[in-house]
Amino acid sequence: METLRTASALRAFADGERAAGRRLALVPTMGALHAGHLALIAEARRRADRVVVSIFVNPTQFAPHEDLASYPRDLAGDLEKCRAAGADAVFAPEPAELYPAGAQTWVEVGELSKPLCGASRPHFFRGVATVVAKLLIAARPHVAVFGEKDYQQLLVVRRLARDLLLDVEVVGVPLVRDADGLALSSRHAYLDVGARREASVLPRALDAAEAAVRAGERSGAALLECVRKEIGRAPSAEVDYAELRDAETLAPVESLRGPAVLALAVRFPVARGSVRLIDNRILRCEESPR
């Protein structure tokens, strides 16, 4: 497995693979790899001949008050996990490599970036879109693999690739859950035992909404009330958002008629202040309403 530190080295690797007629996959990550990331690498291996994993804690998607400095980092451990998972190369640049002195070019995706995480973190998707565009341009993959836990991000990246005419297939992989149902996240490193216990309300809230849909409920307001009631069982939970949105456009859904994403972002107190966790579930109403 090669470790690449510069964009020119990444381009040379990609050019060599393409010249040899091999299909190339890119798995962008911010490191602190867990089983969810390994599922992305496995899917990339299934879809391509060569797999590149990028490990880069992107500074431009963090606001000044957010956890850039303390974000979990373990490059040595991540490299070993990538090697064991069958990655062929890891791109692990320094920030100056992707944001050279004087950089002033940004990529912004309009409407899809505005709701949900974009409403509470207005800086976030400009940073995500910019760094993903840079990675896709440098790596020239045939396929790029992202997790569906970051559902809005997946839609933003798909829109970016279409709008910028990037010749890449953007693939989403279902999120991976821990034994208690919590969607795996690198930020779980912040959770103490109490916060971890309270955070388990997230999958329970999603389960409650899905059960209500199976029972015939179609009202968006009623489903969200069900979700908030369940989250309210965790005394310290602070809801950032709990919304029902169209699964493709992210337009608000008042009545469930087609696939909709139930998206949650909730904060839990921890020693360092608070940790914000996200989760989601696609709700479908194939059954006839009651």
Same domain, 142 and 271: no
Same domain, 169 and 202: no
Instruction: Judge whether 148 lies within some domain.
Output: yes
Its domain, for residue 191, covers 186-280
Q: What is the pTM of this model?
A: 0.95
Query: What's the angle, vertex CA 24, arms to CA 20 and CA 26, rounded to 5?
Result: 150
Q: Count of domains in the chain?
A: 2
Instruction: Judge whether 92 lies within some domain.
Output: yes
pLDDT at 18: 97
Same domain, 196 and 86: no
Instruction: Judge whether 290 lies within some domain.
Output: no
pLDDT at 290: 36
Cβ neighbours around 110 below 10 Å, total: 10
Instruction: Judge whether 165 lies within some domain.
Output: yes
pLDDT at 289: 40
Averaged pLDDT in 10-residue chunks for the chain of 290 residues = 98 98 98 97 98 98 93 97 98 98 97 97 97 98 98 98 98 96 94 94 98 97 98 96 98 97 97 92 72
Q: What is the CATH number of the domain that holds 236?
A: 3.30.1300.10
Reduced to 3 states (helix: H, G, I; strand: E, B; else coil), residue 27 is: strand
From CA 23, how far away is CA 43, in angstroms rounded?
13
Q: Does the CA dihedral 54-58-183-214 come out positive or negative?
A: negative
Catalytic positions are 37
Instruction: Judge whether 179 lies within some domain.
Output: no
CA distances from 12 to 19, 151, 165, 205 (A): 10, 31, 22, 47
From CA 103, how far away is CA 247, in angstroms rounded?
34
pLDDT at 288: 38
Q: What is the CATH number of the domain that holds 132?
A: 3.40.50.620
pLDDT at 286: 73
The counts of H helices and E strands in the chain are 10, 9
Reduced to 3 states (helix: H, G, I; strand: E, B; else coil), residue 139 is: helix
